Amino acid sequence: MIEARGLTKRYGKTTAVDDLTFEVRPGQVTGFLGPNGSGKSTTMRMIMGLDAPDAGSVRINGRAYGDLAWPLREVGALLEAKAFHPGRSAAHHLTALAQTNAIPSARVDEVIELVGLGSVAHRRAGKFSLGMGQRLGMASALLGDPGVLLFDEPINGLDPEGIRWVRNLLKGLAGEGRTVFVSSHLMSEMALTADHLVVIGRGAMIAEMPVATFIAQSSQHFVRVRGPQLAGLIPVLQGAGATVARDDDGALSVVGLEPSTIGDLAGAHQVVLHELSLQAASLEEAFMELTHDSVEYRGDAPPLPRGSRDPRRSAEKVRSA
């Protein structure tokens, strides 16, 4: 269990983490979602006691990190890839960590096998690929068999097989009743892995909810309408309470009315339609919508009206759930 209360971190005039309050519960994977630069890593370092908050506090199983009796046996963390000396072997790196918390050396061999580094355990870790570095980071996180695990962008640099492995590992750990907190800037990844979401932007809380709720709430339906005589239809739809946007290809994106209602209205006004289809925004789109105002760095493309076509968006047909 991780509890953050009013967690705040400032660097000069920039507020990197702004009054975050959330809980990460055992037995489920909690996704920590936000655009790059939104304060995820800073928050994780504060949980680990590496960075001191300017205000607020964070507790792990009711204690500050520094007060844990056997830190590696209570909390495991993968905070950055390649957090090891390039001249030292994976086995020696893990041995040095194990010794601090009186973890038997047999466990070092065990986690090396678990993450699949058995054949390279005695090679200098500087020769590792990014993916192998991530696996070594995973091994150090699992070393003390901890009940609380933090992973900062664990799938970075992994191939598809590695990504699937991490996904299963996270779910497996949560299934064993552990607290699993994993950050990502990819909503699609979190939809597959996480049970619960903490979403931040520019260091501030945007949403905290189960993934299922997020998906349900954020699936913005709109109706795509195409035809030769749409100009006359727009005021009719607006009069019926819809929000209407005209796309570049001349089609209308209509939010707020069902396709059947739009068809009825078109028929009543004798407007010919060539297309009338229900569209749903993808999860990634919903996430971008949610965090749009809080992205730290972005190109200067102007924000588009809701429901309109956008090259960044990939509207997909509604799936029958």
Determine which residue in the list 31, 35, 39, 71 makes contact with other proteins, applying CB under 8 A. Answer: 71
**Distance, CA of 8 to CA of 148 (rounded, Å):** 22
Residues 6+ apart with CB under 8 A from 216: none
Identify any residues that bridge with 33 across adjacent strands, giving them in sequence order: 184, 199
Determine which residue in the list 2, 16, 33, 173 makes contact with other proteins, applying CB under 8 A. Answer: 173
CA proximity to 2, closest of 52, 48, 38: 48
Radius of gyration over alpha carbons of the chain, in Å?
Answer: 24
- Residue 20 interacts with other proteins (CB under 8 A): yes or no: no
Cβ contact 33:192 at 8 Å: no
Cβ contact 220:286 at 8 Å: yes
Q: From the CB of 167, what's the least distance to other proteins, in Å? A: 11
Using the rule CB under 8 A, give the single segment among 21-29, 31-39, 63-71, 239-247 that binds other proteins.
Answer: 63-71
Size of the site for other proteins (CB under 8 A): 50
Determine which residue in the list 103, 112, 180, 198 makes contact with other proteins, applying CB under 8 A. Answer: 103
- Residue 160 interacts with other proteins (CB under 8 A): yes or no: no
- Residue 68 interacts with other proteins (CB under 8 A): yes or no: yes
Determine which residue in the list 4, 22, 30, 45 makes contact with other proteins, applying CB under 8 A. Answer: 45
- Residue 134 interacts with other proteins (CB under 8 A): yes or no: no
Cβ contact 214:284 at 8 Å: no
Q: 3-class SS at 312?
A: coil
- Interface residue list for other proteins (CB under 8 A): 45, 48-52, 65-66, 68-73, 75, 77, 79-80, 82-89, 92-93, 95-97, 99-104, 106-107, 110, 114, 140, 142, 144-145, 168-169, 172-173, 176
